[in-house]
Structure 1
Amino acid sequence: MKKETYYSNGKLLLTGEYLVLNGAKSLAVPTRFGQDLEVSPALGKKIVWKSYDADGSIWFEDVLLFEDVVSKITFIENKIKTTLVEILHHAYLLNPDFITNAEGYLIETKLTFPRLWGLGTSSTLINNIGQWLSIDSFELLKNSFGGSGYDIACAQTNQAIIYHLENEKQFFETVAFNPKFKDNIYFVYLNKKQNSKSAINNYLNKQFSLDKVKAQVNKITAFVSETDDVTEFMSALDKHEILMSDVLEQLTVKESLFPDFKGTVKSLGAWGGDFVMVVSKENPLFYFADKGYDTILKYEEMIL
């Protein structure tokens, strides 16, 4: 076995956050950033694992024994190691040969975006493992980390997609989302990473009827994926924010952080962290930089 390399795209969910778990149609886009997985043969019935951040620094490094993967050992002092072993354990259940017929591995992962940006450190890893072991990445995600799977679809696809779940099955189709006003779209990092798993659990613990909201979000998703009118695009996203504010019982990010901003600020994915999408007819860079938000990417810098 020679060194093998795999790559997966990062992701952003532009519409349908949270509700995608309940079957809402969502617009998602792959990013220009992603993660590599390099696998080389080794000895010792173990996996020597190194994970590199975008700046080349190692953010995780450890040795995983084959027997730990097979038994799904929990490491109370190291949550990252426990999560990784759990993912590999479920990969083993789907394809045991990579453990039973191997001597060992040296595995390196390399992000092309800063890990704290929240563009899919876990989903790109799961999809890369799926590619490596020729197993269903959606099933691996479901069995290990959980979530809707839109991020796996983005990892595998080089275009925007409309994604939804139906009877727990994934459906997605590519769309020609390339708005004429993309020069008016920016992505601003909120200087903190949101734990998507915790945010999902909090959402699932809320009890409410979602059928009416889902229908409205489905219409918004279809509209924003097709319109070439920036004013109508902004209005639709503002309506989406209000709908989700009612569902989540939280202020919108614009209400809480940017109430004086003349434009649209749309939460992406888990509310309260990671990136927001900003749509503005005027250059917003100085506004956000003045408030301490220095990581601002233009549409073409972020979206594949």
Structure 2
Amino acid sequence: MKKTFYSNGKLLITGEYLVLDGAKAFALPTKYGQNLIVEQGYNNTIQWKSYDSDGSIWFEDNIPFDAIVSNERHDDAKSIKNTLIEILHEAYLMHSDFITTSKGYQISTELTFPKSWGLGTSSTLINNIAQWLQIDAFELLKRSFGGSGYDIACAQNNAGILYQIVNEKPVVEIVGFNPKFTDKIFFVYLNKKQNSKNAIASYYNNQADIRKTIPVINALTQTVVAAQHPKEFALALAQHEIELSNILELATVKETLFEDFDGVIKSLGAWGGDFVLSISKENPTGYFNERGFDIVIPYHEMIL
């Protein structure tokens, strides 16, 4: 019997990095996401196919049940397979029935956004697997990928969220974010996925600054969520960029790429790649296109 599961993608508007240490973050689920389709298989094996948004297959392999049970590892050339086996192994430890009572599966995943966009390929997968097996997605994330879990919260909710880790547990608050100025907000893809290892290293080298900055970020997050005027919203985001720039010891994306932009540009999630948010009086599409950034998405086309 065919079963289909779906999870939303995500964009982290405030609280990047600091959310790991208890800061309150604001995140929005996207209209883009990922499907997981599960059908009966055979030979005690999962026949797995992952499709990008253009219909191309970006990963395909057979995974024997024995490999999942033993958490079998392959060389680095099979890193995607290793990651998938690890997630399924942790899922098996949480709920073994999907292995012990089955003859096999045919599983496919379908992204509705290009994989390179960084809107949550992994988080939507983990949440979909958790839905399928009826296990806790936050716990599965913790056991496999790690991370704050805000992306799982976005995968599960169809509205903006305030997200915070309190006593090592996720606290999710739904917020009605729909200010009148969303027509001034655009999301711009920086033409590359970001590996944030260097930024994270700088982040953890500045623990004293982190402790001082968390209350500041919490206050800015509340201002962003409650803002009724675009100037108030923009100034809070600009201040957020300055605070994170100091901790990460990195220039802001506006300083690096868009110094002459007439408006505010805010990094989203990992600094230096994926999407940024822009807010300005005029439609900025032409400005970004002239500089080689062709993917500029209006708020109402991106956000759920």
| TM score, norm. by length of structure 2 | 0.97
Amino acid at match of 1:101: T
SS in structure 1 of the partner of residue 286 of structure 2? helix
Aligned to 1:80: 80
Aligned to 1:174: 174
The alpha-carbon deviation at position 275 of structure 1 amounts to 0.1
SS in structure 2 of the partner of residue 11 of structure 1? strand
SS in structure 2 of the partner of residue 255 of structure 1? helix
Q: Cα deviations across residues 94-137 of structure 1 (Å, max 9, x unaligned)?
A: 00111111100000000000000000000000000000000000
Amino acid at match of 1:153: A
User: 1:240 and 2:256 equivalent?
Assistant: no
The answer to whether the Cα contact below 8 Å between 1:123 and 1:151 also exists between their aligned partners in 2 is yes
Q: Which blocks of at least 5 consecutive residues in structure 2 are unaligned?
A: none
Aligned to 2:92: 92
Amino acid at match of 2:83: T
Q: Distance in 2 between matches of 1:207 and 1:10?
A: 30
Q: Which blocks of at least 5 consecutive residues in structure 1 are unaligned?
A: none
Amino acid at match of 2:194: Q
Q: Distance in 2 between matches of 1:143 and 1:160?
A: 26
Aligned to 2:26: 27
Distance 1:81 1:132, change over 3 A: same
SS in structure 2 of the partner of residue 132 of structure 1? helix
Q: Distance in 2 between matches of 1:32 and 1:290?
A: 27
User: 1:37 and 2:36 equivalent?
Assistant: yes
Amino acid at match of 1:59: W
Q: Distance in 2 between matches of 1:253 and 1:277?
A: 10
Q: Distance in 2 between matches of 1:119 and 1:236?
A: 23
Q: Distance in 2 between matches of 1:287 and 1:42?
A: 51
Aligned to 1:16: 15
Aligned to 1:253: 253
Amino acid at match of 2:248: L
SS in structure 2 of the partner of residue 32 of structure 1? strand
Q: Distance in 2 between matches of 1:207 and 1:242?
A: 15
Q: Distance in 2 between matches of 1:139 and 1:200?
A: 26
Q: Distance in 2 between matches of 1:204 and 1:281?
A: 33
User: 1:295 and 2:295 equivalent?
Assistant: yes
SS in structure 1 of the partner of residue 172 of structure 2? strand
Give me the CA root mean square deviation.
1.1
The answer to whether the Cα contact below 8 Å between 1:123 and 1:152 also exists between their aligned partners in 2 is yes
The alpha-carbon deviation at position 207 of structure 1 amounts to 3.6
Q: Distance in 2 between matches of 1:294 and 1:112?
A: 19
SS in structure 2 of the partner of residue 178 of structure 1? coil
Structure 1 runs of 4+ aligned residues shifted over 3 Å read: 198-201
Q: Cα deviations across residues 239-283 of structure 1 (Å, max 9, x unaligned)?
A: 000000000000000001111111000000000100000001111
The answer to whether the Cα contact below 8 Å between 1:199 and 1:270 also exists between their aligned partners in 2 is no
The answer to whether the Cα contact below 8 Å between 1:18 and 1:203 also exists between their aligned partners in 2 is no
Q: Cα deviations across residues 120-165 of structure 1 (Å, max 9, x unaligned)?
A: 0000000000000000000000000010000000000000000000
Aligned to 1:188: 188
Q: Cα deviations across residues 17-58 of structure 1 (Å, max 9, x unaligned)?
A: 000000000100000000000000111011000000000000
Q: Distance in 2 between matches of 1:135 and 1:171?
A: 18
Distance 1:58 1:223, change over 3 A: same
Q: Cα deviations across residues 161-207 of structure 1 (Å, max 9, x unaligned)?
A: 000001110001100101110000000000001135x3675356424
Q: Distance in 2 between matches of 1:288 and 1:193?
A: 18
Identity across matched positions, percent: 58
What aligned pairs does 1:114-153 form with structure 2 within 5 A after superposition? 114-153=114-153
Aligned to 1:202: 201
Q: Distance in 2 between matches of 1:189 and 1:36?
A: 23
What aligned pairs does 1:215-230 form with structure 2 within 5 A after superposition? 215-230=215-230
SS in structure 1 of the partner of residue 207 of structure 2? coil
Amino acid at match of 1:111: L
SS in structure 2 of the partner of residue 270 of structure 1? coil
The alpha-carbon deviation at position 74 of structure 1 amounts to 1.1
Q: Cα deviations across residues 190-241 of structure 1 (Å, max 9, x unaligned)?
A: 0001135x36753564242222210000001111101111011111100000
Aligned to 2:104: 104
The answer to whether the Cα contact below 8 Å between 2:263 and 2:278 also exists between their aligned partners in 1 is yes
What aligned pairs does 1:259-274 form with structure 2 within 5 A after superposition? 259-274=259-274
The alpha-carbon deviation at position 298 of structure 1 amounts to 0.0
The answer to whether the Cα contact below 8 Å between 2:4 and 2:38 also exists between their aligned partners in 1 is yes
Q: Distance in 2 between matches of 1:157 and 1:202?
A: 31
